[in-house]
A and B are shown apart, each in its own frame.
Chain A
Amino acid sequence: MKMIEIVKLIIIFFIMVGAFLNLVAALGVIRLPDVYTRNHAASKASALGIMSILLGTFLYFYFINHHFNSRILLGIVFFFLTTPVAGHLIGRASYNSGVKLWDKSVQDDLKKSKNNPENRE
């Protein structure tokens, strides 16, 4: 009986952390000034948030329903692998489609290399 309560507390911890991180990702996407910084918030906070929520769900079904669901574990691995890739793809697409950096941005090394005629495809 005692064991179940501890497991429930752990599950609540994981799920609350995940939900909070998703909320932070949404706040970041609303607050931050340009595409690239928004991409930071969305790709990092969402990744750990969803992984934490799925881990909580897996623990719930394993310890309380005694049902080992391997698809949730697969989902965790899948999100772990794909969220950084998605962030990288969006960043590249937005740079190449000509979205400007924020006005207060300091440095842009990529611009120099794009303007250099040797590197042009």
Chain B
Amino acid sequence: MAFQLLLNVFLGFMWMLLTVTFEPVAFLKGYLFGLLIIFAFRRFFHSRFYLLNVIAVFNLIYIFVRELILSNIAVVKTVLKPKLDMNPGIFAYPTVLEKDWEITILANLITLTPGTLVIDVSPDNKILYVHAMDINTKKESIDSIKNTFEKAIMEVGR
């Protein structure tokens, strides 16, 4: 991915030099044409076309913001309810992610999910201990973590 990005910036400068116009707009034009060239030659690179990674990052940001808003609605509901009838508890969540930055992002995402908060990570980075506001919704939270978040994070790192 880094190689493709570097090549694309190089192609942008190349366009600037070839057309002898040294303006930001010319660089942008060259960058877009370079993107087209890299897209056409994408099967000669070892890694996949890097725009897909960029799209994955934007998808991750979208998920972050959506979860933040949903979890705030849940917190408002819990706090403003006249009776406190919740069953908090800590459950263990075994994760399949391995790299440190992936686990960091996953922990941040879980903290932003409605009603869950990461308390601790086991020393071998395999198990996340999650404190849930309502342990009865544990199954749903595990499902959403597994199907949405881990997939989105893996898409970025691929």
| Contact surface of A with B, Cβ cutoff 8 Å | 21, 24-25, 27-28, 31-34, 36-37, 39-41, 43-45, 47-48, 80-81, 84-85, 87-88, 91-92, 95-96, 101-102, 104-111, 113, 119, 121
Q: Are B129 and A110 in contact (CB under 8 A)?
A: yes
Chain A residues within 8 Å of B72, by CB? 21, 44-45, 48
Q: Are B119 and A91 in contact (CB under 8 A)?
A: yes
Q: Are A84 and B88 CB-contacts (below 8 A) given A36-B119, A40-B133, A92-B120?
A: no
CB distance from B62 to the nearest CB of A (A): 13
Q: Are B71 and A44 in contact (CB under 8 A)?
A: yes
- B69 in contact (CB, < 8 A): yes
A contact face: mostly helix, strand, loop, or mixed: helix
Q: Which bucket holds chain B's interface residue count?
A: 20 to 34
Mask, B83-98, CB within 8 Å of A = 1, is 0101111111000000
Among A28, A45, A109, the one with the most B-chain Cβ atoms within 10 Å of its Cβ is A109
Segment touching A, from B19-27, B50-58, B105-113: B105-113
| Contact surface of B with A, Cβ cutoff 8 Å | 64, 68-69, 71-72, 75-76, 78-80, 84, 86-92, 107-108, 111-112, 115, 117-120, 122-123, 127, 129, 131, 133, 135
Q: Are B75 and A88 in contact (CB under 8 A)?
A: no
* 23 sampled A-B residue pairs with Cβ under 8 A: A21-B72, A24-B76, A25-B75, A28-B78, A33-B84, A40-B115, A40-B133, A41-B78, A44-B112, A45-B79, A47-B112, A80-B64, A84-B107, A87-B117, A105-B89, A105-B90, A107-B89, A107-B91, A108-B89, A109-B129, A110-B120, A110-B129, A113-B127
Q: Are B88 and A36 in contact (CB under 8 A)?
A: yes
Q: Are B119 and A92 in contact (CB under 8 A)?
A: yes
CB distance from A34 to the nearest CB of B (A): 8
Chain A residues within 8 Å of B122, by CB? 113, 119
A29's nearest neighbour on chain B, judged by CB, is B79
